[in-house]
Amino acid sequence: MPRITVTVDGIAYEEDVEPRLLLVHLLREKLGKTGTPVGCDTSNCGACTVMLDGASVKSCSVLAVQADGCDVVTIEGLGVNGSMHPMQRAFHEEHALQCGYCTPGMVMAAIDLLRDDPEPSEEAIRQGLEGNLCRCTGYCNIVKAVRRGAQEMGRTVSAP
């Protein structure tokens, strides 16, 4: 079995993995990082979205061996010192989650789309989240939350 090294949420791991092991199963079943859920088998739903070397990926469609040497950030690694990331807070404030199953992926996708467009329009947010499905919210409050999260992240960045 190939041996890989991977950093997940700031912790370095060395694991022997079957080549066919999906990254999401490495996270959930080998590393105990169950914060990232699985919602489909065709990379449509986006529930399993994580950051791989700083860019969003669907961890059900990446092999663990492909993440060898990479840095992974999951929903569990977003907060700093026990406080939530501004995007997580924004989702809370705007009631942008109901059952919460799509939420980890949705939050990661939201943070990712702001890398290109820190002040996105409603249209840009909706397009930017096209790869993440939610069955509860009708997306209205998710769009609001992303806008709010963007504002707060902008503030964090520009604060002295």
Binding-residue pattern over the window 10 to 29 for other proteins, x denoting contact by CB under 8 A: --------xxxxx-----xx
Binding status of residue 151 toward other proteins by CB under 8 A: no
In the complex with other proteins, the residue whose CB is nearer, 140 or 155, is: 140
* Other CB atoms within 10 Å distance of the CB of residue 106: 28
Are the C-beta atoms of 152 and 89 separated by less than 8 Å? Answer: yes
Binding status of residue 125 toward other proteins by CB under 8 A: yes
Strand partners, 12: 7
- Strands 11-16 and 3-8 turn out to be antiparallel
In the complex with other proteins, the residue whose CB is nearer, 14 or 158, is: 14
* Structure-block tokens of residue 100: 């919460």
For residue 95, the minimal CB distance to other proteins (Å) is: 4
Q: Residue 14's closest CA among 27, 3, 2?
A: 3
* Structure-block tokens of residue 6: 């991977």
Binding status of residue 141 toward other proteins by CB under 8 A: yes
Window 79-118: residues binding other proteins (CB under 8 A): 79, 84, 88, 91-93, 95, 97-104, 107, 109, 112-113
* Structure-block tokens of residue 91: 């989702």
Binding status of residue 34 toward other proteins by CB under 8 A: yes
Binding status of residue 72 toward other proteins by CB under 8 A: no
Kindly state the DSSP code that residue 61 receives in the 8-state scheme.
G
Binding status of residue 47 toward other proteins by CB under 8 A: yes
